[in-house]
Amino acid sequence: MRIRILQIPYDSGQRAARMGRGPMYLTDNGLLERLRARGHDVDIELIETAEPFPSEIKVTFDLQRRLADRVRATIVSGAFPLVLSGNCNCAVGAIAGIDPLHTGLIWLDAHGEFNTPETTIGGFLDGMGLAIATGRCWREMASRLPGFRPVPDDHIILIGGRDFDPLEIRELQRTGITLVPPLLAREWGVPGAMVPALASLRDRVTDIYVHIDLDVLDRDEATANMWATGGGLTVAEVDEMLHLVRERFAVRGVGLGSYDPDADRNHRALRAALRFIETACDPSSRPAAR
Ligand SMILES: [Mn+2]
């Protein structure tokens, strides 16, 4: 498979700071070798802003706009887009570049990413990715992304969420977004928790985009960023989930975000990232019938 890595090394509009270091760190520490050892043909494209006065909101949406263009061009060229970003909200640009009305979204994250400017208590723009993707906030900014359409709620599965702001979870539970919290996987096992949700999604879409925030992992498994928290999934559980997804859907693209190398002192998050990317990008499990 021909894989194009799209690197967006920004966190909150700042280049190569905190989680903005993650994309380069991954490619400098084994990702390229790992993918090439699997027989993939890999190249890298760097995505940067050219904003003369880089405000956080402007840069964030400028990066998403550029990413949407490059994801589309990558697919047109016959390559597979692998998005490495500092922030998770790059998934909005990625799915805009694919086909937001007909592509399901599998989002692995400790957090809801469903805040809006009216519900957030942390003030973190990158805690709003799913709310933007579904058309609930920053609507004018998002509408200017090439290809953007709100992703239907019932095309989305949020896996591993356990750390929500109070108003955020209240709003999230009112939506058609399917939640697979870690406790569900703990009680029913990974297939028990995942297979019904995936089967239901498969009735609506055949193609999906997979977004991985490594803080979906339990803090004892790996510390991917400063928000890593307990009660999360194990590396083996996430890997099994990705296998189940690949067996059932045509994966159109994969994104991995929110990896801060400074938080990952024992490199466990790095190792998990390489494994998850390898699993998610495995063409051998691509479903034959479309
Ligand atoms: Mn996230």
Distance, CA 37 to ligand 1 centroid (Å)? Answer: 29
> What separation in Å is there between the alpha carbon of 10 and the centre of ligand 1?
14
Q: How far is the CA of 31 from the centre of ligand 1 (A)?
A: 21
| Position 276 pLDDT exceeds 70 | yes
Residue 109 C-alpha to ligand 1 middle, in angstroms? Answer: 5
Residue 190 CA to ligand 1 centre (angstroms): 21
Confidence at residue 249, expressed as pLDDT on a 0 to 100 scale: 97
DSSP 8-state assignment for residue 150: P
Model confidence over 5-46: pLDDT tens digits? 999 999 999 999 999 999 999 999 999 999 999 999 999 999
DSSP string of 257-279, one letter each residue: E---TTT-TTSHHHHHHHHHHHH
Beta-carbon count within 10 A of 230 CB? 11
Distance 290 CA to ligand 1 centre (A): 30
Computed over every residue of the chain, the mean pLDDT equals 96
* Rounded-to-integer distance, Cα 262 and Cα 27, Å: 16
Residue 287, pLDDT score: 55
pTM over 0.85: yes
For residue 120, how far is its CA from the centre of ligand 1 (angstroms)? 14
How far, in Å, is the centroid of ligand 1 from the Cα of 90? Answer: 10
Centroid of ligand 1 to alpha carbon of 233 (angstroms) = 14
Work out the average pLDDT over 207-219.
98
CATH architecture designation of domain 2-280: 3-Layer(aba) Sandwich (3.40)
Coil, helix or strand at residue 228? coil
Ligand 1: centre distance to CA 147 (Å):
23
Tens digit of each residue's pLDDT (9 = 90 or more) over 74-114:
999 999 999 999 999 999 999 999 999 999 999 999 999 99
* pLDDT of amino acid 228: 93
Q: pLDDT tens across 119-169, in order?
A: 999 999 999 999 999 999 999 999 999 999 999 999 999 999 999 999 999
For ligand 1, the distance from its centroid to the CA atom of residue 258, given in whole angstroms, is 6
CA–CA separation, 279 and 273 (whole Å): 10
